[in-house]
Amino acid sequence: MCGRFAFFSPSEAVLRVFDVEDMPELKARYNIAPTTQGPVVREVEPGTRPLETMRWGLVPFWAKDEKIGNRMINARAETLGEKPAFRNAYKKHRCLVVASGFYEWRKTGNGKQPYFIARPDGDPIGMAGLWESWRPKGADEETEPLLTCTIVTKEANASIVDLHDRMPAILNPDDFATWLDPKKTDKEELHDLLDRAGKSVMTFHPISKAVNSPKNEGTDLIEPVA
């Protein structure tokens, strides 16, 4: 699974990796937690990729209560087309959740030790995601919709499987356009794309347990500890 991530990449790296049309000023975040805002790239119009923020925790368009999103932070790649909560978004609303790295916890004799996981070259990663637009029942079209997202996960690759058996589906930049294109609806093509996602080598190191509290922020959260 993926329950926490960070975003602190420079604008130049985000523009280069994601080819976004609009790069707003975003504050560096070292402890992005469920129900808070995180950076997302989606295709609003053909060939147009803005970077924006959405609340983490998908609220399906048909939901009666937005609180359902609290438990929809991850979506298993293996069952995207089957689960009612994700089926519509998988078909029409795919996105990239942008991160500089993410966190995972390894069980130890003294509880759980957190680790920070990132690319060896420091480039930002594009985690396969789904997004939805939701309005309360009875709301009119002038009501600002709530935009939410979830992170797609799959089996962990060889470089981090010792930490956890799941990881975000990190897409290859060459596959970004296919994943974001809402006209791409062939399930076999999308399945193949997710199948080859997340195979890049990742590096990790132990960090302070201060990351356990979403109230904590700052660069010290990603610093290695003994």
Q: How far is the C-alpha of 85 from the C-alpha of 87, rounded, in Å? A: 6
Residue of 2, 43, 95, 149 with catalytic role = 2
In the beta sheet, which residues pair with residue 203?
A: 118
Q: How far is the C-alpha of 26 from the C-alpha of 37, rounded, in Å? A: 11
CA-based Rg of the chain, rounded to a whole angstrom?
17
Q: How far is the C-alpha of 100 from the C-alpha of 117, rounded, in Å? A: 9
Q: How far is the C-alpha of 166 from the C-alpha of 181, rounded, in Å? A: 26
Tell me which residue has tokens 């799959």: 154
pTM to 2 decimal places: 0.95
114-130 pLDDT, tens per residue? 999 999 999 999 999 99
Residue 104 known to be catalytic? yes
Please give the C-alpha separations between residue 21 and each of 26, 29, 153, 179, in angstroms, as whole numbers: 15, 22, 27, 17
- Secondary structure of residue 83 in the 3-state scheme: coil
42-88 pLDDT, tens per residue? 998 887 899 999 999 999 999 999 999 999 999 999 999 889 999 99
Residue of 43, 104, 132, 149 with catalytic role = 104
Mean pLDDT of the chain: 93
Residue 25 known to be catalytic? no
In the beta sheet, which residues pair with residue 131?
A: 149
Q: How far is the C-alpha of 127 from the C-alpha of 184, rounded, in Å? A: 18
141-158 pLDDT, tens per residue? 778 999 999 999 999 999
pLDDT value of position 1: 66
Contact between 20 and 52 (Cβ < 8 Å): no
